[in-house]
Structure 1
């Protein structure tokens, strides 16, 4: 599976154009995941002396190492997510331990929140949906690079993969906002990321300002907060939206 991931049949190679990031937050996150990978590797090595089952820790060690490279400079390509929300088999298998952790994190942070909240004119903001939730919308605009769309989803699904916890790139955010405005004309739209707090909120804020529904990024932020969804927009995101 690693060879299939390293040389996918379609899409960019995971390390194509790799350049070590200068972003301080991305470096901190890379170090965090690298530490997790090292701990899992050490657990596998030490645990193997007691029980061979400990070797299964090599799986999360590899998954966390791949995520480390994403934050270090490889970017969202390591997740091998397509514009329709699907992923390669190799990515699904190799990164499964990380995705299980991401799913647990979604539950922990959003279990007491509404899955989605209405923002304006048929546009909703929320966490990554289940298939039944997604199918209640005409279109889903998905920004979570790390998560694959549910298998039984039959609504229109448009993915703009972005890495978690980092400011969404301006060009991609603008593309997503444009896709949101086009999709809105055909029915309801859910804009989602893992939690619905940052990446998706940034795109909705971009859309609110770009279409004149909010005069300034500050007003867009206030509209999102008034809808009842916690949002964590990076300062750079707010400035760019202006």
Structure 2
């Protein structure tokens, strides 16, 4: 099946059945989303949502976070993955937001990636969700689902290569939504070790399903 046709079917399904997807991270401001996304690296959104209410109560603004010590931050995020590094990143992030950006979350990838703990994926999430720019954040879910569906070539072996391959075929207005569609599909249906193909509405064009499942192979350990 031509790749353009796979994209057409992917977009047709989700625009019809899930037209307004949203992040599952809880936030009330760009600052809160930025902190939550930094915390979510290699950690579940559910865990992040459990700890951020207390964190934002104590540090409700970038100014409060800038005045915090690493130890103060660590005490509130100790249950996430890599809490030591993330505490250092958040304390530094608060200070840089105040010193370099007047307490405002910047709106460009270049400026966002200057912040401690903010890589391209996190920066893409912020410009997409907060500023509605056509940015595609590629996490493990997006990487896996894009390959399994056959939306990207097998030669796309890095997050940046997957990002470029996806945005090539998705209309700019739909890129922020497609990011959520791929993440949520990977989180609940196209899971890493045992994809729930029997529940999936995309099997008619899914490359993984047609190559590995339909011929009778058991999808226990997936290749991506």
Tell me if both proteins adopt one fold, taking TM over 0.5 as the criterion: no
Greater helix share, structure number: 2
TM-score, normalised to structure 2's length? 0.29
Greater strand share, structure number: 1
